[in-house]
Structures are given as structure tokens and as C-alpha cells.
């Protein structure tokens, strides 16, 4: 029971973190926009619930050998793999004069159109997919996603985005940049 509760909390954390990150650091910026953040988190939770129900129920498509859903208990949710792409694309669109909300809408629209490609791939035989995407291509893609997320992980490991930005702004300007960083982020332990 306790392990199930822990798993449920981990799932909810994984579902709400990506929309929060996108809204907070790319779409809204400072000052934050809580109404859009709440909307994005609610949309992620509702979509996850609907997709989980569809995935759990294995429904045969009439006249074919295909099914909708896997019939296996698994929670469908968002992924962190889109974060670097969304952050770069939304930042670029904002630099071009498009508002954060419009840029986010354009990225959602692009994602919806690209999901049709995934739907097409789901009907291909596994041999055709492996020929199109050999293991070397898939593994390099997964590695590059991890590399792109490493910078974000290092920022949060070192005390958060604000502390990391403070160090980079003060780096080279003052010889005591690390001292400023330690004063603003005292939970960072010097060894």
C-alpha cells in the first residue's frame, strides 16, 4: 500500500513537472502567469487520465489485426524529452516578437500534427521500423536528449536556476563570483 502511494506521488510529480517548466521558464518568464500554469497542469492530468483509460482497455479494430490500447495497466503521461526543443523554439519565437502564449500554441499545434506520424508508425511492421530507425540511430537520439537535459540538471543540482544565472552573470566581472553565489545560495556546501 505504501509503495503504491509512493508510486502514485512519483507519477503525479512526473506529470506536472514538464508543463510547469515550460510555462515558468519559457512561455511566461517573469512575472509568472499562474492561470496558464494551472491550465497546463490540469490539461496534462486530464489528458494523462484519458490516455491511460484508452491504453488499459484493449479494443480490437474491426476487420483488422490491430488493437487500440495495450491491455496492460500502465499510466500514460508526458515526457521530459520535448523540453529542450520547446525551450529553444519558444525562446526563438519570443525573440522574433511572438508572444509566449502564441509560441506555446504553435508548438502544441506542431506536436499534434507530428503525432499523426507516430500514429502512422504504429501500424508499420517492426522490421520496417528497425530498418528505418536502426539501434545506432535510436541510441544516439536518446543520448543527445540526455546531453541536452544535463545543463538543466546541473543548474538545479547546484541550487536552482536563479543561483546558476547569478554565477554566470557575475563570472568574469568580479573575482568574488563564487562568494556571491554562496551568499545567495547558502544551502550549497563548500568542501
What per-residue confidence (pLDDT) applies to 169?
58
Tell me the pLDDT band of 160, cut-offs 50, 70 and 90. low
Supply the DSSP string of 106-162, one letter for each residue: HHHHHHHHHHHHHHHHHTS-HHHHHHHS-HHHHHHHHHHHHHHHHHHHHHHHTT-HH
CA 50, distance to chain mean position in Å, is: 19
What mean pLDDT comes out for the span 114-123? 88
Q: CB of 51 within 8 A of CB of 115?
A: no
Tell me the pLDDT band of 46, cut-offs 50, 70 and 90. very high
What per-residue confidence (pLDDT) applies to 182?
52
Each residue of 54-99: pLDDT tens digit? 989 989 999 988 888 888 888 888 777 788 888 888 889 989 999 8
Cα→Cα distances 33→20, 25, 29, 40, 61, Å: 11, 11, 8, 11, 43
Q: CB of 28 within 8 A of CB of 36?
A: yes
Tell me the pLDDT band of 142, cut-offs 50, 70 and 90. confident
Amino acid at each position: 500500500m505504501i509503495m503504491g502511494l509512493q508510486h502514485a506521488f512519483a507519477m503525479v510529480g512526473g506529470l506536472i513537472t514538464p508543463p510547469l517548466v515550460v510555462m515558468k521558464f519559457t512561455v511566461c518568464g517573469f512575472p509568472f502567469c499562474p492561470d496558464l500554469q494551472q491550465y497546463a497542469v490540469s490539461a496534462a492530468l486530464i489528458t494523462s487520465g484519458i490516455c491511460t483509460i484508452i491504453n488499459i482497455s484493449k479494443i480490437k479494430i474491426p476487420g483488422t489485426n490491430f488493437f487500440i490500447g495495450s491491455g496492460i495497466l500502465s499510466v500514460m503521461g508526458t515526457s521530459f524529452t520535448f523540453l529542450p526543443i520547446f525551450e529553444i523554439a519558444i525562446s526563438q519565437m519570443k525573440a522574433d516578437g511572438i508572444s509566449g502564449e502564441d509560441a506555446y500554441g504553435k508548438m502544441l499545434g506542431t506536436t499534434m500534427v507530428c503525432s499523426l506520424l507516430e500514429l502512422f508508425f504504429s501500424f508499420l511492421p517492426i522490421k520496417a521500423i528497425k530498418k528505418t530507425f536502426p539501434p545506432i540511430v535510436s541510441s544516439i537520439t536518446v543520448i543527445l536528449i540526455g546531453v541536452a537535459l544535463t545543463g538543466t540538471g546541473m543548474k538545479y543540482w547546484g541550487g536552482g536556476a536563479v543561483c546558476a544565472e547569478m554565477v554566470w552573470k557575475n563570472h568574469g566581472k568580479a573575482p568574488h563570483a563564487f562568494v556571491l553565489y554562496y551568499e545567495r545560495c547558502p544551502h550549497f556546501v563548500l568542501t
